[in-house]
Amino acid sequence: MREVKINGVYKHFKGNYYIVIAIAKHSETKEKYVVYRELYEDGTLWIRPMDMFLSEVDHEKYPDITQKYRFELQEIKSVVKE
Q: Is-contact 48 55, C-beta < 8 A? A: no
pLDDT, average across residues 4-22: 97
CATH code at 38? 2.30.30.320
The whole-number pLDDT of residue 77 equals 82
Residue 80 lies in a domain: no
In a domain? residue 25: yes
Domain range spanning residue 30?
9-73
Residue 39 has pLDDT above 90, yes or no: yes
What DSSP character marks residue 15? S
Domain count across the chain: 1
Nearest to 53 by CA among 41, 69, 68: 69
The closest of 4, 36, 3 to 20, measured between CA atoms, is 36
Tell whether pTM > 0.75.
Answer: yes
